[in-house]
Structure formats: C-alpha cells, structure tokens
Structure 1
C-alpha cells in the first residue's frame, strides 16, 4: 500500500524533540514494517498556539494552497506511484488538517486519522476555525484510530458511523531498551561511577517533563510518597526539565540528597538509564500513558503508576508493576515500598514487563494491527 503521511502539529522531520515527533516517526515505521510504502506528504505545521483567528485563517489558506500543489503533483505522476491512502497523525483544534481532506477527495482515496480529539467548549472559542475544521474532517474520515483513552467519547459522535473508530495499542521501538537490558550490569556500574551511587541501593527512576499543572502535581505526590520512606536505602534519579523546575525541586525537597537531578537527556541515552535502575515511578495525574511506562517495561524494570487515564492499558497490575489509586500518595508509597523491599519481586515483574512489551507493544505489532485496519479501505 502506498501511503501519504502527514502530521499537522509537528512533522516527524522536525529538529525539536517531542512526544508528537516520536509518535509520528513510530507510526511511519509501523506502517513500513508491514510492507507499505510511506512518504511524508508535507512538513507544513498548522499549529496556532494563541487562538489568533487571523493567523488561523492565514494558516488555512496556506494549507489549501499546499494541498492544491500536491494534487497537481500527484495527478502528474503515474497511477502506480500515486498514494492509495492518506494518513494524518494527531488532529485537534490548534492544529487542524487543511491538506489531507482536500487531497483525499480530489484523488478519491481513503482518508485516515490517528489520534483525533474534539473539544466542544472550543466551538465558539478563540480556536473556532480550527474546531470547525476538525468537525468537518472527522465527518468525512474513512477511519479514525484512537491512541489516547478518553478521546472516543467526543470523537465517535462526529463520525459518519461509530464503526469507523478503531483503537491502536500504544507502542514503541523496543529494540534499544531490550539491548540495554541485556547489558544492565555494565550500565549500572557506569552510572554508579558517574553519579557516585551505591550499587546495593535501590535505584528509583522518574522521567517526565517539568511543566506546571498536572506534571507538578504528579511530582508532588511522588515527593509525599517518598519522603515518608527515608529509612529504606533508595535513591531517586530524575530525568527531565522545563519551566516548572523550581516547583519540582520544592516538591521533592523532603527527600533531600537522595534525589539526583539528571536534567534533560537525549533520547538515545535513556535506554541505558532505564536498564540500570530498579523501578520506574510516576503518579501520572490526568495523563495518557506516555512513552515512559512503555520504555521502562521494555528495559525490564517494574513500574508504579496511577490507575487513571491510559496507564492501565500498558501496565498489568500485579504482573508488570503496580497501579495505585489516582493522586493518592499513601497508596503510591505502599506500592513503591513493596518493590524496594523485595528484590525477587522486582526481578519477576521486570521479566514479565519485558515479555509483555515484546508481545504486545512493538513497532511490528502496531504495523500488523494497522494493516488489518487499513486493508479493507484500499481496493
């Protein structure tokens, strides 16, 4: 299948790291892994941060012009080279798709969206133009693939049929994490030497951006949970940075020198850090599962997370880690204490986590699932 891929929020070729860029790249890799020919149709960003109606109108005009150029280009190509399907990743009111629907209708090919959201309160708000575009786009979509828990409730009613909504399990490229797990002891020794860590202590890990709001609340819960366990021999490694760094430092101040601040790390450095640690912790207040839970488990370490949002979809409670009551520091503390106190339990859960990831959440597994979803759309 020949697929035209587009990500209006952030193109996969962007130089700025982000979760959106990573997922766009993973989706392209997943499609390619199952034998499809995928090309990036456009790098145009339709994102409007501030709700400026004039800017949105200008973005719309530019997007339509790009679409018209693509239509002319595709029509000039041989039929055997034209895209057979258009695939857009991440559609929402701040970054609508002004290109894909126009091209799809002109070429008579299926239009598919992965991860779409609709915010009813924005219908008459500052992003009204983008919101209306999302409504119209979803109405003509041939398939919408859900990737975040909670989106379906608002998105499904906008589709021409509720049957046009499917869900895709979260996934990552597990290979770097599997490779790191196989060299766990070497990575642990190297990190011990670099950071002055005692090899016999339990190393806990958190990987999260430091933003105001839900992120800070998660750090606060983490801090309250850990500061009541100062007798046990543990250290907390924190990977992340952001505008709320000072608030995060305050949230974890009760843990004193047990916290090591690693700052922002390049993604290719993360597998070794995950694999060297003993458990991953993140309360995940009001969050989708995020890549961190997948990455930690792929690296063979158990996790503790809040039982909310999409976290239960990627963590098997009692098998690959523990799910705790949402935003509950006491429950989070109890689950963390069990992992700190029981080396054998950590090993068993870590193995189960790695096995589950290899079976359910790989690029190849996602590619096969996507092919099943898309196969019926292309004659």
Structure 2
C-alpha cells in the first residue's frame, strides 16, 4: 500500500528529540516493516504554543496553501497514494492538509494518536479544536494511543456502532534492548541500582523528578543508589533535590548508549507525571529491567502492575515510596519483574507487534472508506 504521511505536531526529521518524534519515526518504520511504501507528504508543522483566532486563521491559510502545493506536485508526477495517514492530532496541532488531500484524491484518511479536550471548544483554541473535529469527522479510522484518550474521543462518535475509534498501543524497535537484556546480570545485592531517565525541563518532567526525590527521601533508611540520565534547563534544581552521596548523574546520552544502561541497573524508577505512556518505560522493560512508575494516562497499558513492575497513584510520593520499600526489602523481586518485562514487551510492544496492529488498522480504514465514503450518491 502507498501511504502518504504527515505529522502536524512535529515532523519526524525535527532536530529536537522528543517522544513524539520517536513515535512518528516508529510508525513509519513499522509501516515499512509491514511492507507498505511510505512517503512524507508534507513537513508542515501546525503546532503552536499559543492560540488565538488571528494565529489559527493565518495557520489554516498556510496549511491549505501547502496542501495545494502537494496536490500539484502529485498531479505533475502522476503519484496517487492509497491512503493518507496523519500522526498526532489535537487542538494545538490540527490537520488541514490530510483531509484536503484525501478529498482531492479520493483517499481513505486515518489518524494515529488523536486526543480531544472539550474545555478547548471555546476560548483561544476554538478554531484549532474545530479543525481537529473536522478531521475526525473526515476520518475513516482513528486510533488513540491509550484508553484514557479514547474515552475522551468517544463523545464525538455519537453512534455506538461506529467502528472508527480505537486504540493502537505504543511499541518500539526493541532489538537493541533485547540484545542488552541477554547480558548476564550479577547477583542482586545491596545497594540496589536504581535508574531514572528524563529530560530536565520545566513542567511535568521536573515534577516527576520532584516526586521521585520525595519518595526516595522516605526510603533513605534503606540501601539504594540512583543513576540519573538526562539534562536540560532545570538541571541544577533537579540535581539539588537528591542527596549527592547517593546519586550518579551522567547527563544526556545518545540513544544507542541507553540499552546498556537500562540493562546495567536493577530497577527503573519514574513517576511519569502526565506522561501519555513514556518511551523510557517501554525501553527499560525491553532491556529486562522492571519498573516502578506512576499510573499516569497510558502507563497501566504498558506496565503490568505486580508482574513487570509496580504502579503508584500519579503524583503520590508516599505511595511511590511504599512500592520502592517493598522491593528494597525483597530485592529478588527485581529479577522476576525484569524477566516478565522483557517477555511482555517482546510479545505486545515490539516493532513487529506494532506493524501487525498498524496493518490491521489501515485495512479497517480502507474497508470503512469503501463501504461508507466511496458509495455513489443516490439521485434525489
């Protein structure tokens, strides 16, 4: 299948690393793994930090001009995809390009990772909210990345029999992590080697570090050592949260060095404040390292509580500390968690598993388009 792809939130060749960029690249890789031919239709970025009618009206005009440019290029080349796929849609990153091209060329239109916040229906993001809703209306299949987002999409799809809204669980290219997991691990001994990986920036990332520091302070009486991987503008604040004699900060690392780091530690610890799911949590488990995490948003759909790790109520430092204490007092749990985590990711969240889910998702979209949108209109 020939697939035209765009990512209005952040193009997949954006120079700034992020989970969103990683997921976009993985979707393209999974599609190619499934045998599809993917073309980046546009690198137009519709995401804006601030809304307002003037900003969004000008953005819509620019987006439709880009759609026209792409259409002319396709026509001149003689190219016609079989389907248009947009990755990550919401009020701050609406998609005008995908629906316009899907209508122009008569294509199924699908969305992967859509979310909907009703409180943005009015106010400075109203035009973005409306545009995102129009894209949902035009869609032939829509996938949230976890059930929390899907539940917020459901009010839009008023027919309970509408097959379009679904969940496409996150996945990763786990091969390097699986290789790291094969490295023999030394016997578990005190102090347990804990690992946290996260960017150091204002907002939820720094809040996660704050909750982690508070939780670790509550288990200061037990033996542990924490390695922190990450850097950013709040670095000094973050590092000051932890006792200097019990942490090792090694800064930001390139992706290829992370598998070995996960595999060299006993337990991955991350409160995951307001995280959709957290690639680091997938990566740690793929490397055979169990986790203690906050149960934010989609995290419970990638961490099997009590099997691959332990979950604590989001933002609750005492509950997080209680989970930590239970493992620090019974350190053999870490090996059981790690073995179960590696098996879980290989089965449900590998690139191959993601490719199979994406392939089925696209076929369902094609069927919806064939049955619903491509029917000739009846004469009145």
Equivalent residue runs for 1:265-276 within 5 Å: 265-276=253-264
Maintained 8 Å contact 1:210/1:241: yes
Distance 2:234 2:164 in 1: 40
Quote how far apart the aligned CAs of 1:311 are: 1.4
Residues 64-89 of structure 1: per-residue CA shift (max 9 Å, x gap): 112112222323444xx521000000
1:344 aligns with 2:332: yes
CA contact (8 A) 1:284 1:306 kept: yes
TM-score, length-normalised on structure 1?
0.89
Q: How far apart, CA to CA, are the structure 2 residues paired with 1:101 and 1:28?
A: 19
Larger displacement relative to structure 2 (169-178 or 207-216): 207-216
Specify every segment of 5 or more residues in structure 2 that has no aligned partner in the other structure, as ranges.
Answer: 371-380
CA–CA separation in structure 1 for the residues paired with 2:220 and 2:167: 42
Question: Per the alignment, do residues 160 and 70 of structure 1 end up closer, same or farther by CA in structure 2, a change over 3 Å counting?
Answer: farther
Tell me which residue corresponds to 1:297.
285
- Alignment CA distance shift 1:94-1:238 (3 Å): same
Distance in 2, matches of 1:377 and 1:308, equals 29
Q: Secondary structure at the match of 1:211?
A: coil
Aligned CA-pair RMSD: 2.2
TM-score, normalised via structure 2 length: 0.89
Q: Which whole-Å deviations, capped at 9, do the CAs of 1:150-184 have from their partners, x for residues lacking one?
A: 22233223247542101111111111111222236
Q: Does the CA-based 8 Å contact 2:109-2:365 persist in structure 1?
A: no
- Correspondence 1:209 to 2:194: no
Distance in 2 of aligned mates of 1:118 and 1:244: 30
Shift of 1:215: 3.0
Query: 2:90 aligned with 1:92, yes or no?
Result: yes
1:345 CA drift (Å): 1.9
Specify whether residues 165 and 323 from structure 1 end up closer, same or farther in structure 2 by C-alpha distance, changes over 3 A only.
Answer: same
How far residue 52 of structure 1 moved from its aligned partner, in angstroms, is: 4.6
Asked if structure 1 preserves the Cα contact closer than 8 Å seen for 2:312 and 2:320, the reply is yes
The 1:33–1:220 alpha-carbon spacing in structure 2 relative to 1, beyond 3 Å, is same
Structure 2 CA distance for partners of 1:47 and 1:325, relative to 1, 3 Å: closer
Gaps of 5+ in 1: 189-198
Alignment partners' CA distance in 2, 1:9 and 1:286 = 18
Residue of structure 1 aligned with 2:238, choices 235, 248, 253: 248
d(CA) in 1 for partners of 2:143, 2:300? 19
Count of aligned positions: 364
Provide the residue aligned with 1:195 in structure 2.
none
| SS of equivalent residue, structure 2 residue 87 | strand
In the alignment, is the contact (CA less than 8 A) between 1:141 and 1:159 conserved in 2?
no
Partner SS, residue 258 of structure 2:
helix
Q: What secondary structure, in the 3-state scheme, does the structure 2 residue paired with 1:334 have? A: helix
What per-residue deviation string (whole Å, max 9, x for no partner) do you get for residues 222-249 of structure 1? 1122123334332111122233334423
Match of 1:192 in 2: none
Distance 2:306 2:263 in 1: 20
2: CA distance between counterparts of 1:129 and 1:100?
A: 17
